Structure formats: C-alpha cells, structure tokens
Structure 1
C-alpha cells in the first residue's frame, strides 16, 4: 500500500531549558537554555509517523528557498516531492520541565504555494491519501483539489483552511474545527451537519481525552479514549489521522479505524507526544553506544573530495568506533561559499562520503553551523582539520554540555577545494 501525505509542512523547534528566576524588568520567567530540538512538523510530521510505522509513504508539500526551508528539508525523513512557497512557517516553543512557556511563530504569510505537475502525478499514483491541512494554502489549489477527488482520501482539516473535497472517506476535525465549519457546538449535531455539507462518507469529531464521535449517516458511534496523563498534546491529531488513514487503506471499517486511531493517539501521548519521537540517530551511533564505544563526528562541505579530506576523515575515524560526517546542505554551502558552489549536489556528496571506508554515516544539516545537529548526535569526540585552537571553536562549548571533547587533526596545506578550483581556473 502506497500512502501519500499532502499538505503544509512546517518547521517545529523546541527550545528546552530551566527556570529559576524572573526577569527583573517584567513578570516573565527567564529560560536558561540547555538544548534545542528541531523536527519536521505539519504534514511532514504526519508522513514521518507513517514511515516509522513501516508504511510506504511519500510527502507532497511546498518549501521555500531560504534557511528555514532548507533546514526543514534536511529534517524530512521520507521520500518527498516539493513545490515552492515564499515562506515556510517556523514554530518555536520555549519549554521547561515538559511544559510550554511560550511559542514564537515566524513566516508562512506568503502567497499561494506552487503546485507542480510532479506533485499531482504522485497524488494520482497513491493507493490512499492523507490530506494534512495546516491552513497555509496548499490544499486550496484547484488543480490539486481536482486530483484529490479521484483518489481515496482522509482529510484532516484546519480552521483557516478550506473544506474537504467532496467524497472523502473520512474527515477528522477536532471539536473546535467542527464547530467553526458547522456553526454548531454539539459534536453530534456538528458531525451530522458536516457529513451533509462536505458530502463525506464519514466524519469523526475528535474530543481529546473524551475520545471521538463517528458519524456515517446512521446512529453516531462514540469511541472512548483510555485515560492517559497528557503533558504535551502536540501531534496527537496527526497520530490519529495517520492511523485512521492506514487502517482504512487496509480495508478496515470506519468504526474499527477510528477505534484504532483513538488508541494510537492515547499511546502516543502516554509516551511523551512529539517530545518522545526525536529524530532517530543513525543506527550505527545507537549500536556503538549500546556496546560502550566512542562516537566521533566531523563536519564540512566536502564539495570536491580530495586527499586532504580523505586523510582528515581517516584520522578522525581512528579516534573512535564510528565516524559520522555532518554535511552542509546545498543551500548552506551556497551561503558559505558563494553562488557557484557547491560543485557537487548534496545527494552526490553523501554518496561519495558513504563510499569511504572511514565514514560510517552522513547527516545533512541546513544551518550554517552544526550546533543543532551536534546536540542531536551528542558525539564523544568532534574533529576539525586545520589551523584551529580547539578551545576557541564554537563547537567546543557545545561538546562540553555532555562531556565531549574537540580534537584538531593535521591540516594539509595546498589541498582544499578552493585551491583546486583556483588552479583549474
């Protein structure tokens, strides 16, 4: 079964810290930051959930050609087809002890996203589609909406988004969304009204800790939720919609699909919600840590691989039991090196690095510096090649948070991508 998740992708960032004092000039807590975790959100989060369930899934969305869009692209874990949008929304939550203190939103106020023929082709090729609307305009596109009437769809709506296309297998509004679309606060009446207005086969109104109410045209079916402590409800709606879509695609009846979706959302929350599904580390890192080994990491553009790179990587690998290369993305290289770079595309650079005996894995990052990806990998050793002082590198302060160390390996003069290109010019 091939699932396509189509909708708005977001960048979600959790800034974690501790609070022990109040700001002297305002009654506001002071957050002492201890870590930052970024993840793909919105439709990209739903696609990630499906992929981690073992589903063959493709994401169809739109990204911007800026730092936020590139960072989000580097976090997406599934095969994807992207159109273009002027601005990707970024949501940053300031958190302490599992509780959000505030949220800062940026971007996402641009014009309509671009929908390409490739995006439409992927949607048409799906066995089943989850339309994950986050109110940013992609699912308003008329060509895309026309295509969505030709495939089986579960539609997860948003109060700022459009109504589902006619004929969806299941629409999954929460009570606030159902009330907004129907004008009725009672969940039974709202579900009944939306079933008719949307010409859907079924509508389920999700009710948080109270479960869900399913309406297929006859007597509504109440599905209770098991009691679970909820510290962070973020992502529960996506978990519900993904499970419902996968179960319906597998031939389940709507009431069985909704019951499984309620149970999956409860289990998701019981395990910490999105905070419990950090982006997975490379399997090599987990395996080395499990046996008490040393994880080494290094980073750079590695645009035109040369002997200086090869020698530095070999020296780095000799310092531990695995080596992970943190690789600058294409947009990151362009910002750092100029418009003519990189010479080799990101996927080509990854392939070449992974072919080296010294390299165990490669992680791509979209920022100009690797601090965020280091916070996720938490290597024991960070290696730089060149004329540096280890204590002065910004990465050294990051490594000290978990007791890691920074090591400088010899710099091989005359061997750099810039010098090679200059000689050819």
Structure 2
C-alpha cells in the first residue's frame, strides 16, 4: 500500500507582489540630478508569505514524498492579484481570505543588479475568514505565520492562538504587526526587528538597528527578553551573514549558530527562507535547536545560489512528472571550480573514495594530492554506493557527515557525490588533469583509467601512512565498545 503524504504545513500571512525592473543607468536626467534607467527586463514573483510558502514547497527533492504546502492569504480582484495567483499556482494549494483593495506591490528599480529605488503601492482591508480557511487551519500539521503587518495574521489571531497550544507554530514577526500569539514554538525576528520590538539595551550600546552589528550576548539577551514577553518557547534572532542566536525565556546563555559558508549575494528573501526551513524542520519532529541549525544552513545556501533571482526556484514543483532533476549542488560547485581553474591554465586534481571514518592516512594523501595541482576535487561514494561495495553496516559515517568533514579540510576545494560503483561518469563531467589514488591500488586495477585517457588525464598513485585503515579503526572501535569502564577488554 503506498504511503500517504504527510499532513500539510500551513503558511499564514500577507502576500505581496514583488517586481524587479532591471536596466542600465549611465546618464542623468536633463531636468533633475536623477539617474535615468534604461529598462532591459522586468520580473514578477510572490513576496511576503507567498515567497515563504514557495520556498517551503521547493525544499523537497525531486521524486520524494513531500509535505503539502497550503498558503492562507488575502487577495483581491486587481490584475496584480491575478498575477500573484498565477505565480503561486504551480507550487502550492492556495486558500484565500477576501481582500477589500489590492495586493501590495513592491517595485525595485535596479541598475545592473543594484537597487536604485523602491516604489510601494496597493494594500487593502482583510475580510472575514471563509469555511475553507477554517478547514485549512484545522488540518495543519504545523503552521508558519509570515506576518508583514498587513492584517492577515491579526484577522486570524484567535485561531492561531488556539493552534499554538497543540501544533508546532513558527512566527516570523514584523515591527508593524501584532506580537506573536502565546505558545509559539519558535519566533524568528531579524536583529533589526528584535531591536525595534524591544527596549534599548544599556549593556550593549553597540547594538545598532542595522541587523548586523552588536554583540552576540546582546542579541541573545534581547531574544530571551522577547521570548519571555511573548511567552514563546524560543526566539531565534537572525543575524544575516553571521548566522543566528537561539534564546529561551530567561536564558542567560543562548546558543549561537554561525553561518556555515560566506554567502555573498542579494539577501532579499533570506528571512523567509530561514522561517520556512525552521517550520519544515519542526513539522518533521525537530527540536528548536535542530530547526535553527537547519534554517541557518538553508538560508546560507539560498543566498549563495542567487536567492530570489535563482531561476531554479520558480521552475515547477518538486516531484512534478516530467520535470528534469536539478543538478546536485556539490556537482555544480565542482564543475564551476574545474572550469575556472582550467580557464586560467591551472591543473585540476581529483581523487575519490568512500572516506568512511576519515583517518590520518586519508588526510596525508589528500594534502599531498592538493600539492600536485591548483585545486582538489573529492569524488565521494554515496551511502548507496558504499553499502553496495562494503556490505550491510557501512558506511559507518553517513554521507552528509562525510561531506562536511572533507569540506572542512583546507586541502579540499570541492566535494561531488556519485552513486555508481566507480566514478567514471563523474570524471567525464569534471575532466581532471590528474586523478590521484592511494598507494594500495595498481594502475591495472583502476576501471576509470580508460575514461581518463579520453581527455589526456593522468593517474597518480600516492602512498598511505602504514597501519591506517577504516577497517582497522572499525575493529578497534568494536573492541572498545566491549571494554569495561576502566578500559580492560572483556572476552567476546
């Protein structure tokens, strides 16, 4: 019997229409000291709660059973409202409250990607919730409130307060909106919003309201004070490229979650990404600490891959039949790195393996491999590939952890995963100049040697340190587990 899809995540809040007008500004107007924008393109996308809901819908991989996303929002009858419906339709289930007026429209004028001016228009009064709204809220497995201070959260406040008592609820607040309902599992203000929503902190005079400065302890104190005032289980104060701090009511030592990567790019929508990732994690049973860690990671990836300007974000929905699978992020990075190094005449080096229980022999070989060229790409066997090659019980370390450990080494520039027994297909995509293997191989035993010959790649064998192997480490770990607390081995 096929497994039914999990109950939905319901996103509640104010949807906007965001428009980017792109162009070039190379001259000033003759009648005023203002730049003239020569328009080259125009893009429309849902903003506010609409963007948060789309990001939640896009967070599941292709072909996987994914949680339905339901957006409860207010829309009117203006052409802008019709455009929002059209943009949202491929991604989620839309449940509407009546809007007496028009959806807010925010237009950014951008010269070569840099905003020059923003024009805001539209807005209206949110009407009474329909029976469909009541049903959507009653069927929610988890709720994300993306409050932009335009009236949807306030109109549904009583229903949301009832849900908070028994349903995971994430509240993304706004200085112009009402406080979160008591009992929210997690509230996610930015540093600037937390400063605006709380009194000045005399112990942290450096905490300006730009969202980036101020001490981590100061942000944590504000988060703890807001958690107490709002009667929420936890508050995650987002700090942009610095990550986030998580505080509970009265917390004297909040948790700090640094960003895992330097994400350069347009941060527009990163807060919506953070809140939607946290809500999905809580819906899947995560603790607030785990949800915050996942949200920091996803927000960083979102910005690094182009943010709201990334075209992959708007192409269909996960699991849609006929939609081509999106390329793996690690493979995209590895491809781009290899092309860039080759483009400047450098030497691309690659190596591969399971790297299960990374040991000193691995590290020494990787360091030596990096010294032979200008970049090192590690081709990593996936969990499925390791299990097929090594048998049940392997890998000992799951794929995500193996990627994290390898990527943390200074000598490794990129990690790409492959599912097959050997990396021939991946090598044909990367086309390295040098393919490095540990000294326990012979060239006659390398099935990828023929592939390397296609573009003139060379195989290089490097020695491992004697006596180091994953198998030996696993055996010693098994013996240790059978030892008594004082270290004396017991008979099997």
1:84 shift after superposition:
1.0
Name the CA distance, whole Å, in 1 between partners of 2:322 and 2:110.
27
The structure-2 alpha-carbon separation of the partners of 1:216 and 1:58, relative to structure 1 and needing over 3 Å to count, comes to: same
Are 2:9 and 2:69, in contact at CA under 8 Å, matched by a contact in 1? yes
Q: CA RMSD in A?
A: 2.1
Are 1:10 and 1:42, in contact at CA under 8 Å, matched by a contact in 2? yes
Give the corresponding residue for 1:368.
none
**1:9 is aligned to 2:15:** yes
Q: Deviations over 1:369-389 (max 9, x none)?
A: xxxxxxxxxxxxxxxxxxxxx
Gaps of 5+ in 2: 1-5, 61-66, 202-217, 325-492
**1:232 is aligned to 2:266:** yes
Question: TM-score, structure 2 length as denominator?
Answer: 0.55
SS in 1 for 2:106: strand
Once the two structures are superposed, the pairs formed by residues 14-25 of structure 1 within 5 Å of their partners are: 14-25=20-31
Give the corresponding residue for 2:255.
221
1:276 shift after superposition:
1.1
Q: How many residues align?
A: 286
1:47 shift after superposition:
0.8
Q: Deviations over 1:175-213 (max 9, x none)?
A: 111112221453122111111111111111111111111
Name the CA distance, whole Å, in 2 between partners of 1:46 and 1:275.
15
Are 1:234 and 1:274, in contact at CA under 8 Å, matched by a contact in 2? yes
Name the CA distance, whole Å, in 2 between partners of 1:75 and 1:113.
23
Are 1:173 and 1:204, in contact at CA under 8 Å, matched by a contact in 2? yes
Q: 1:31 is matched with which residue: 9, 32, 37?
A: 37
SS in 2 for 1:88: strand
Are 2:188 and 2:238, in contact at CA under 8 Å, matched by a contact in 1? yes
Are 1:206 and 1:213, in contact at CA under 8 Å, matched by a contact in 2? yes
SS in 1 for 2:117: strand
Are 1:16 and 1:95, in contact at CA under 8 Å, matched by a contact in 2? yes
Question: TM-score, structure 1 length as denominator?
Answer: 0.64
Instruction: Say which one has the larger Rg.
Output: 2
Give the corresponding residue for 1:205.
237
**1:267 is aligned to 2:301:** yes
1:117 shift after superposition:
2.6
Give the corresponding residue for 1:59.
71
Name the CA distance, whole Å, in 1 between partners of 2:139 and 2:315.
29
**1:105 is aligned to 2:139:** no
Give the corresponding residue for 1:292.
none
The structure-2 alpha-carbon separation of the partners of 1:149 and 1:253, relative to structure 1 and needing over 3 Å to count, comes to: closer
Gaps of 5+ in 1: 288-425
**1:45 is aligned to 2:51:** yes
Name the CA distance, whole Å, in 1 between partners of 2:13 and 2:234.
20
The worse-fitting range, judged by mean Cα deviation, of 138-147 and 150-159 is: 138-147
